[in-house]
Amino acid sequence: MSGAAPPNTWVETDAQALAANVALFRARLAPGARLGIVVKSNAYGHGASLASHAFLSAGADWLIVNDVEEAVALRGYGIEAPIYICGPVFPDAAEALVASRARVVAYDRVLLDSLDAAGRAQGQEVAVHLKIETGNTRQGVALDEALRLAEHIAGLSKVRLEGIATHYADIEDTTDHTFARAQLASFRHARDAFAEAGHKVEMAHSANSAAAILWPQTHGELVRVGIAAYGLWPSRETYVSALQAHARDEDGLLPELVPAMSWRSRVVQVKRVPTGAFVGYGRTYRATHDCKIAVIPVGYYEGYDRRLSNLGHVLIRGVRAPIRGRVCMNMTMVDVTHVPGVQAGDVATLLGQDGDEHISAEQLAEWMGTINYEVVARIHPALVRRG
């Protein structure tokens, strides 16, 4: 025998939807800005290789990853475009980073020295971007320390200061952008300070998805579009802010983001359950009537959250089927009493469209008490991704 068995559960990623989102942001970019698409965490669950090739084919300039391993993986997929590592990098990863020809965000002198040594050993220059702390209190350093790091870089032979960056703390969490405006002002001050100190900065960038949609003035030389590139709004507040901006400006573009992911599984068993019988671990659901239960081979190991127990729905034959009992490690049970003809092999849609019904990442996030980012990013990377 040869060939792989068909998967029980899989993710479908629509390359045309990804391309539509790239085109949308291309049309909104400020003149001179590059379009960087974040493909970290397996491209937000969409499949790093599939999504990266689709984004570049559609016109993205850079790809952005979290760590050196992801950069190395992209090179292994045949990606030759510029790669920017936005997450932490330890000095012992310097050799692999240089070999991957990736850019990196930096805020540590030891890392800079390690990159310089690896660059000299490999005959390769490394471009770095210093992270400026403006209020997110995560990665980065204060302006005075960043300037000292720039002076240090000037004395290195194989490390080049290419840019400075920062990240907004709450631009997608509120419609009051007072704090984000203060961060932008601090970042602009930092760029001026670098220029006054004689440090050439080719690129300054702060725009994430929400800023790229709402504030053209943040675009700088690079925008770092994450969740919105996959057709998902960063938040309800971002959408409301975009609506308000559109209402004030009749010529403004209200983005029509196109979700790119569907998540599907196959029914493995349908069984009759009599009134009074319990379903699943902990006996958390008891049948109030004779019913039919379909078993789906997906659970919290695959990323289908346990918080969906007795709360969420799936779609089977275009009809909503409620979850009964607890989501298990690798199985979930749903009520299909009201769905005619369900049988083993039928497709169950966990996320996406089936007929006239649709389950969105936002709906799943609401049931789970979280955000759409977590819904898609936590789908197990071992599941098959189909284009």
Q: Which domains does the chain have, with CATH numbers?
A: 14-248 (3.20.20.10), 261-359 (2.40.37.10)
Compute the distance between CA of residue 27 and CA of residue 24 in angstroms, rounded to an integer: 5
Place of tokens 């990323």: 303
pLDDT by 10s per residue, the chain, length 387: 457 788 999 999 999 999 999 999 999 888 889 999 999 999 999 999 999 999 999 999 999 999 999 999 999 999 999 999 999 999 999 999 999 999 999 999 999 999 999 999 999 999 999 999 999 999 999 999 999 999 999 999 999 999 999 999 999 999 999 999 999 999 999 999 999 999 999 999 999 999 999 988 899 999 999 999 999 999 999 999 988 876 555 555 577 999 999 999 999 999 999 999 999 999 999 999 999 999 999 999 999 999 999 999 999 999 999 999 999 999 999 999 999 999 999 999 999 999 999 999 999 999 999 999 999 999 999 999 999
Angle at 282 between CA 277 and CA 283, to 5 degrees: 15
Segment 58-93, tens digit of pLDDT: 999 999 999 999 999 999 999 999 999 999 999 999
Give the residue among 138, 86, 154, 141 at the shortest CA–CA distance from 108.
141
CB 83 within 8 A of CB 90: no
What dihedral do alpha carbons 209, 213, 215, 221 form, nearest 10°?
Answer: 60
Its pTM stands at: 0.95
Q: What is the DSSP letter of 358?
A: E
Segment 242-277, tens digit of pLDDT: 888 765 555 555 779 999 999 999 999 999 999 999
Compute the distance between CA of residue 314 and CA of residue 334 in angstroms, rounded to an integer: 8
Give the catalytic positions in this structure.
40, 281
**What single letter denotes the amino acid at residue 260?**
A
- HEC string of 151-215 equals HHHHCCCCEEEEEEECCCCCCCCCCCCHHHHHHHHHHHHHHHHHHHCCCCCCEEECECHHHHHHC
Q: Give every CB contact of residue 385 below 8 A, 6+ residues apart in sequence.
A: 10, 11, 12, 13, 46, 47, 50
